[in-house]
């Protein structure tokens, strides 16, 4: 069986205990210092497990002076995944700055917590370092400006949140900089006139909303001709669901380690179906075990182009979540 064990961790933990520190002598205080409290293995759902079933490992450093615990979660190959501070030994209340990283080392997000609730600005980044999302929080509720940027640094969406609800005018842009859609939200529901455009600037749809419900609508094709029926569909694998299942069955390779330890379950993989049908940004939304998760992403990246989604008579880039079931016989 391939060696999936984490090498050198026990030695690393031993070295951490050999922390050098300087004791400042004071007549009114005793010296205090950080101390290592150990390492635990975690599965894909962040439950403590053994080394064989682990997806991550966690190092915990206690801060006796502040009664805080610095945690650093790592991928099994050693790359840092997340680092931050908890203010209780049970590690249930986040406090201060938290940073998350991609498995290749790039910063994925940074933000602050107060009493285990997001508070202040949170920034999310693409793998190439470009800002992806900036959003603002007040004690666990989105409140303030929101913006989304593509990997080239172009703003693609902006709006405002109030107490976790979309509020006011929201605008989206196509990759070429022309408007995609524009309209108003009231307590998270579309209200009033909304306009949707083709990527050539031609109006595609005009809808009138009342409390989130469409009360009138008109549609146009990319050439400006009025359309009487709305053409809307989700992206799909060419040939439909039956062909998709056949592709998975013919191409899946059950990982050797998963076979040996009989890992089973449903892996949920998210990805983007671009306007040309190509699949991009495959990522695990809910995993089972690192071996099955990796195989699921491989299958997505192996697939041919899909039939892209259509919204308001427009071919659009769409997010899709696909469940892939791994099951062993008796």
Q: Report the CATH number that the domain containing residue 291 is assigned in CATH.
A: 3.30.1150.10
Percent of all residues in the chain with a pLDDT value above 90, rounded to a whole number: 64
Would residue 227 count as lying in a domain? Answer: no
The gap from C-alpha 290 to its chain's centroid, in whole angstroms, comes to: 17
Specify if 185 maps to a domain: no
Percent of the chain past pLDDT 70, that is, above it, reads 88
Q: What integer is the mean pLDDT of 220-235?
A: 84
What pLDDT is recorded for position 205? 93
Is there a domain that residue 179 lies in?
A: no
135 to each of 187, 265, 304, 313, how far by Cα in Å? Answer: 17, 34, 35, 30
Claim to verify: residue 168 and residue 249 sit in the same structural domain:
no
Is residue 200 one of the residues assigned to a domain?
no
What number is the average pLDDT over the span 9-29? 31
In this structure, are 293 and 165 located in the same domain? no
136 and 245 inside one domain: no
Establish if 91 belongs to a structural domain.
Answer: yes
In a domain, 183, yes or no: no
Q: Which tens digits make up the pLDDT trace of 303-319?
A: 999 999 998 888 888 99
* Residue 155 and residue 19 in one domain: yes
Q: From 174, 192, 210, give the residue that closes a domain.
A: 174
Average pLDDT for residues 74-88, to the nearest whole number?
91
DSSP string, 258-306: HHHHT--EEEEEEEEE-TTS-EEEEEEEE-S-HHHHHHHHHHHHHS-PP
Tell me whether residue 211 is in a domain: no
Domain holding 132, by residue range, is: 9-174
The domain boundary, picked from 135, 151, 174, lies at 174
Question: What would the mean pLDDT of 184-193 be, rounded to a whole number?
Answer: 97
Q: Which CATH number fits the domain that encloses residue 102?
A: 3.90.930.1
Final residue of a structural domain among 152, 174, 196: 174
**In this predicted structure, which of 48-52, 112-116, 157-161, 269-273 has the lowest mean pLDDT?**
48-52
Same domain, yes or no, for 142 and 244?
A: no
Angle separating helix axes 290-302 and 240-251, nearest 10 degrees: 120
Clarify whether residues 50 and 164 are in a common domain.
Answer: yes
Any bridge partners for residue 86, and if so which?
Answer: 69, 94
Q: Specify if 142 maps to a domain.
A: yes
Q: Identify which of 136, 140, 138 has the alpha carbon closest to the alpha carbon of residue 121.
A: 136
Domain count, the chain: 2
pLDDT (mean) for 287-291: 87
pTM: predicted TM-score of the whole model, two decimal places: 0.75
């Amino acid at each position: 069986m391939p060696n999936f064990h984490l090498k050198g961790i026990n030695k690393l933990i031993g070295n951490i205990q050999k922390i050098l520190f300087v004791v400042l002598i004071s007549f009114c205080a005793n010296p205090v210092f950080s101390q290592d409290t150990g390492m635990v293995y975690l599965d894909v759902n962040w439950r403590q497990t053994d080394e064989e079933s682990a997806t991550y490992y966690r190092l915990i450093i206690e801060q006796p002076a502040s009664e805080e615990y610095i945690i650093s979660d790592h991928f099994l190959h050693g790359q840092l995944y997340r680092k931050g501070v908890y203010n209780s030994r049970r590690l249930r209340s986040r406090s201060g700055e938290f940073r998350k990283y991609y498995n290749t080392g790039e910063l994925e997000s940074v933000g602050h917590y107060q009493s285990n609730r997001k508070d202040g600005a949170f920034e999310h980044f693409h793998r190439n370092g470009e800002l992806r999302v900036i959003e603002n929080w007040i004690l666990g509720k989105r409140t303030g400006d929101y913006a989304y940027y593509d990997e080239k640094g172009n703003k693609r969406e902006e709006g405002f949140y109030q107490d976790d609800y979309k509020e006011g005018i929201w605008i989206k842009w196509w990759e070429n900089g022309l408007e995609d859609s524009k309209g108003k939200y009231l307590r998270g529901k579309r209200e009033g006139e909304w306009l949707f455009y083709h990527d050539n600037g031609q109006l595609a749809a005009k809808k009138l909303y009342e409390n989130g419900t469409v009360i009138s609508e008109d549609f146009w094709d990319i050439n400006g001709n009025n359309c009487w029926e709305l053409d809307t569909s989700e992206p799909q694998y060419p040939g439909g669901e039956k062909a998709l299942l056949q592709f998975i069955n013919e191409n899946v390779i059950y990982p050797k380690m998963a076979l040996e330890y009989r890992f089973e379950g449903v892996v949920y993989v998210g990805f983007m179906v671009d306007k040309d049908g190509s699949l991009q940004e495959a990522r695990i939304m809910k995993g089972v075990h690192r071996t099955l998760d990796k195989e699921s992403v491989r299958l997505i990246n192996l697939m041919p182009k899909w039939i892209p989604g259509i919204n308001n008579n427009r071919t659009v880039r769409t997010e899709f979540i696909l469940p892939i079931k791994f099951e062993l016989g008796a």
